[in-house]
């Protein structure tokens, strides 16, 4: 009598175990988008200050001086205290004050240049971005 063939033993498939503190790909992507929005908001502040300088300047030399000078002042302030590569980056409450003044200046510049709806939109996006950055510890 022939020997019966043994039944193959099923091999259990490994179950993926979630690693603590591992972010999902979606959350990681959202965080990256939020940082991109932060960068675009910084550029929007520069643009708003240029628009303000052109709007309040009465003659073209004053418009050019304000349209160029005001963003240069804003760039210097951000480079000194707001940039990740700053020598003395603002932290904690100082960072909060810097961001309120920085982005508030952009919204105020838009409002002063006759664009109140754009100012409100900038302020709203800044607020959402700031809340998400605090929530995600960015």
| pLDDT tens, position by position, 94-104 | 999 999 999 99
Question: 14-39: per-residue pLDDT in tens?
Answer: 777 666 666 788 999 999 999 999 99
Q: pTM for this one?
A: 0.79
Task: In whole angstroms, give the CA distance from residue 119 to residue 113.
Answer: 10
Would you say 52 and 109 are in contact if contact means Cβ atoms under 8 Å apart? Answer: yes
Query: 3-state class of 87 per DSSP?
Result: coil
| CA atoms within 13 A of residue 24's CA, in its CB half-sphere | 3
Sign of the C-alpha dihedral, residues 48, 113, 56, 130? Answer: negative
Structure tokens at 7: 């039944």
DSSP, res 125: H
């Amino acid at each position: 009598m022939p020997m019966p063939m043994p039944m193959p033993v099923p091999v259990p498939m490994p179950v993926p175990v979630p690693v603590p503190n591992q972010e999902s790909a979606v959350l990681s992507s959202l965080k990256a988008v939020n940082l991109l929005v932060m960068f675009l908001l910084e550029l929007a502040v520069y643009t708003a200050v240029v628009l303000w300088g052109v709007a309040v300047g009465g003659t073209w030399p004053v418009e050019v001086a304000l349209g160029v000078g005001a963003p240069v002042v804003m760039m210097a302030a951000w480079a000194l205290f707001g940039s990740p590569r700053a020598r003395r980056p603002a932290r904690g409450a100082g960072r909060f004050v810097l961001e309120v003044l920085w982005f508030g200046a952009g919204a105020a510049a838009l409002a002063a240049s006759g664009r109140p709806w754009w100012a409100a939109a900038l302020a709203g996006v800044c607020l959402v971005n700031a809340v998400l950055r605090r929530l995600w510890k960015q």
